[in-house]
Structure 1
Amino acid sequence: MADESSVSQSSKRPQVAQADAPWWRGLSRDGQAAADQKPPLHWSSSENVIWRMPIPGRGHGSATVLGDQVFLTAADVDQDAQFVLAFDKRYGKELFRTAVHTGGLKTQGNKKQNKKASLASTTIATDSERLYVNFLNGQAVWTTALSLQGEILWQQKICDYIVHQGYGSSPAIFEDLVIVSADNKGGGKVVGLERATGQVRWQHERPKKPNYSSPIILRAAGKEQLIMTGCELVTSLDPATGKVNWEIEGATTECVTSTVTDGKVVVTSGGYPKNHIAAVAADGTGEVVWENNTRAYVPSLLYRDGFLYAVLDAGVATCLDMSDGSEQWKARLGGTFSSSPVMVGDNIYATNEDGETFVFAVNPEKYESIAKNKLGDNVFATPTICGGKIFARVALQEDGKRNEYLYCLGVQ
């Protein structure tokens, strides 16, 4: 049963609980997990492993958790299929495997993708009634709704899609809508679909530019705003209607990260064609409050109490003052990062592509290491942390083959 403190009085709003991780970047949509939980600080392939389950093919989407179920996307080019998988949260038993698309994986121009991309890089969203997932298939982006038992309920084509680097935008849920985006060089869209039927409630046309950020709904300047970064724009839409609240030039062309806010500014960061982190006033004045040339391209940022915390692609952790962008500290972690950091209480968990997870303190004064753990040989997915458990999607090199697994880690 949903925690009443976590849901709106409006019947339109999704009925999800504080203990769930119902969509990309968690319940609060900003990479912060519930602070009152105690996930493990230490683990390995044998320590604090509750269960491990194999995943077909390859994917970089994070786990979605609802009650006693864990949901995940996967794409298997050999089977020419894209899947939604469900597991029992307690024991790891696979509950269902639904082929959302069969065919289309081998014909959509995979050679054009970035070598780090996958065909299942999005995170499933749930409103506790249905699952919503985006897939690039057959040179188009599709949104599909499934029941919690894995039955396909509806499917809607969003737009044709010209592959540049890949596709990884995750759905966002707002009241009775699921909101999706598909920026690309052919001209993309942000679309509000009715959750129950998949019918288009509104759509907003986007420039003909490649971009990879997800629509993120945050409360800023006193109201709910749907923020899109990239395509050389920072755009705020009314999530209920799709109408433009404000839009300014200022982001770089290609963004991957999901924005955060302190309620006054929203943060845009990108890495092509220029490196930048910038704070943009959320009140519609168009003011760029500050900007620097820090390269935070793929991993999304975190915000807490006046400070930004970032793990840069090149393996450096840093803390910035949100008021002016000034650097408070930086520390070299090592490796390359594609996964986004997750904040749990006073700790930050950050995993590099080699499967090394660095746990460090939320401390604006200095970098303070808490722990370092190794799991897997190859990691691109952001870990999901909820209910005191860590759901980590990792790949192992076994007998010359790359095999993916979903681990459930917890203190034992």
Structure 2
Amino acid sequence: MIRYTLLSFLFLASVSGCSKKTPVEELSVDQSGVEIIDQAVLITDTDWPMWRGPNVDGLAPDQPLPTSWSADEGVAWRALVPGRGHGSPILVGDQVVVATALDDEQKQLVISFDRNDGTERWRTIIHEGGFPSKREIHNKGTNANSTVASDGERFFTAMLNSQKLFVTALDLEGNQLWQREAGSFQPKFGYAPSPLIYKSLVIIAADNQGGGYLAAFDRTTGEPAWRTARGNISSYSSATVGNLGGRDQLLISGCDSVSSYDPATGELLWETPCIAEATCGTVVIAGDRLVASGGYPDKETVCLSGKGEKLWSNGTKVYEPSLIAHDGLVFAVSDDGIAYCWSLEDGEQMWRKRLGGNFSGSPVICNGNVYVANLSGDCFVFRASDENYEQIAKNKLGSDCYASPAIGNSQIVFRIGTGSGGDRQESLVCVAAPE
């Protein structure tokens, strides 16, 4: 009987894993005493200040922007990025800012480049040592997957280090203003979500098998404002925030649901079972609706009302890239390279087209054109139209492209890789409209 029990335990451990569970210490705004105010965000129309842009939806204001370029024509500048990271570039003022990791030296950094010519302006070490083991990072992942966020006065980054999640604030010159531990983090495939700005807060998501949570910090002082537990499931989506049904909602997919929280308090508003256990894409708000997709192990693309009612769904899986909505249409490019167009109203499929290659980065839209790059370094540009797939251009960027582009001031900035293996080198590439 003892032998049977021991063998059963070992079998269950091999199936379910032996991840350490750490109870999440929840925190309310009443307990923290942090006041949430309508603090100004000093961002202009030419900035792309966080993951998926100013509204976290991948939409850029119309502006002169090239649709085709080559290595010799249309590229304004290139800048080498040390190390490796999948965090997308952001554009703030005259700076382009990215996070990266030097694995051999175990350093996590934030680096700034001049937006006009790509020269490096400053670099700041956020952490040194404390990297997770290689088995705790997906073979496609890095130790700098998150995109930096900015309120126009500070830069914020969230990084996994020493089995904990840390949020760090820098000033515009790269000087550290504060750093706070958000909580423990037991990685299955590393950490991916990007920080989000809401009023006077910076908010991070931390779904993990040890004990997941959402947490908010005062962006001036770094004081913890609230923390809400989300269960023991590893998922990888960033949160988004917007006004639906007359109230602000903090939305996130993963953990077998789409969930809505009050962004000022962390209080759960509603939760709709759907999609999958693990998702990577960010929920997209489109008018009075929201759309999301994933994941693993289940496959679903879903459209919900602002109250969480399921309006339509299908069995399409768009796991790593996020969706994008424009003019009553939903566009997607799946991990295995199939582009889709659905009606936002009823989910009718308007068209589908195999592009070729595999995709991790998310599409952006400007001037009614969709820009999206694959893992072979090809950037596809096609019309955001429901009539059919109309390709405008296919441009070569480099050997690979994992990150999503940033758009502003008639520039589009990509983070790419060239070469392979030990010879691989990351770069920023700025493509600009002719003056």
Q: 1:398 to 1:192 in 2, by over 3 A?
A: closer
Which residue is 2:6 aligned to? Answer: none
Mapping for residues 2-41 of structure 1, pairs under 5 Å: 12-35=39-62, 37-41=63-67
Structure 2 counterpart of 1:22, one-letter code: P
Letter in 1 for 2:69: W
What residue in structure 2 maps to residue 46 of structure 1?
Answer: 72
Identical counterparts, % of pairs = 40
Q: Equivalences for 1:262-281 in 2 at 5 Å?
A: 262-281=286-305
Q: Partner of 1:129 in structure 2? A: 153
Q: Cα offset for 1:399? A: 9.2
TM-score scaled to structure 2, two decimals?
A: 0.89
Match of 1:303 among 325, 328, 347: 325
SS in 2 for 1:23: coil
Structure number with higher helix proportion: 2
Structure 1 partner of 2:403: 381
SS at match of 1:359: strand
* Selected match of 2:358 from 336, 342, 358: 336
* Change in 2 beyond 3 A, CA 1:169/1:400: closer
What is the aligned counterpart of 2:97 among 68, 71, 81? Answer: 71
Is 1:325 paired with 2:325?
Answer: no
C-alpha distance in structure 2 between counterparts of 1:96 and 1:260, whole Å: 33
Secondary structure at the counterpart of residue 65 of structure 1: strand
Aligned to 1:197: 221
Alpha-carbon separation, structure 1, partners of 2:379 and 2:136 = 30
Task: Report the equivalent of 1:7.
Answer: none
1:216-263 C-alpha deviation (Å, 9 max, x unpaired): 012222222110110112111111111122122223110100111223
Task: Name 2:175's counterpart in structure 1.
Answer: 151
Is contact 1:131-1:145 (8 Å) kept?
yes
Quote the Cα distance in structure 2 between the aligned partners of 1:259 and 1:400. Answer: 35
Give how far 1:60 is off.
Answer: 0.6
Helix, strand or coil: the match of 1:261? strand
CA distance, structure 2, for counterparts of residue 57 and residue 312 of structure 1: 27
Q: 2:267 — aligned with what?
A: 243
SS in 2 for 1:257: coil
Whole-angstrom distance in 2 between the partners of 1:15 and 1:79: 35
Letter in 1 for 2:349: E
Aligned 8 A contact 2:274 2:300 in 1: no
2:242, 2:188 → 1: CA distance? 28
Structure 2 SS opposite 1:86: strand
Work out whether residues 159 and 188 of structure 1, in 8 Å CA contact, stay in contact via their aligned partners in 2: no
> Which residue type is aligned with residue 226 of structure 2?
W
1:106-158 deviations in Å (ceiling 9; x for gaps): xx122232211111111111111111001111221111001111111111111
AA paired with 1:21? W
Q: CA deviation at 1:324?
A: 2.0
Shift of 1:11: 5.4
For structure 1, list consecutive stretches of 5 or more residues without a partner in the other structure.
Answer: 1-9
CA contact (8 A) 1:222 1:263 kept: no
Measured in 2, the distance between the counterparts of 1:236 and 1:400 equals: 43
Aligned to 1:56: 82
Task: Check 1:11–1:245 CA distance in 2 against 1; reply closer, same or farther (3 A cut).
Answer: closer
User: Amino acid of the residue matched to residue 362 of structure 1?
Assistant: A
For residue 33 of structure 1, give the secondary structure of its aligned residue in structure 2: coil
The Cα of 1:41 is off from its aligned counterpart by: 1.1
Structure 2: stretches of 5+ with no match in the other structure: 1-36
| Deviation readout 1:196-224 (Å, 9 max, x if unpaired) | 11111111111100100011012222222
- Taking the aligned partners of 1:114 and 1:293, their CA distance within structure 2 comes to 25
Q: How far does the alpha carbon of each residue in 1:281-325 deviate from its partner, in whole angstroms, 9 at most, with x for none?
A: 212xx4211111101111111111221011111111110111222
* CA–CA separation in structure 2 for the residues paired with 1:164 and 1:325: 33
- CA distance in 1: counterparts of 2:433 and 2:69, whole angstroms: 9
Partners in 1 of 2:105 and 2:413 — Cα distance? Answer: 25
Report if the CA contact (8 A) 2:292-2:323 is conserved: no
Aligned-partner Cα distance in 1 for 2:167–2:113: 22
| Structure number with larger C-alpha Rg | 2
Check whether the contact 2:193–2:236 (CA below 8 A) recurs between aligned residues.
yes
Deviation digits for residues 68-118 of structure 1 (CA, Å, limit 9, x no counterpart)? 11111000111210000001100111110100001112xx12223221111
Which residue pairs with 1:261 in the alignment? 285
SS in structure 1 at match of 2:135: helix
Report the number of matched residues.
Answer: 398
Q: Which region of structure 1 is more displaced relative to structure 2, 149-158 or 242-251? A: 242-251
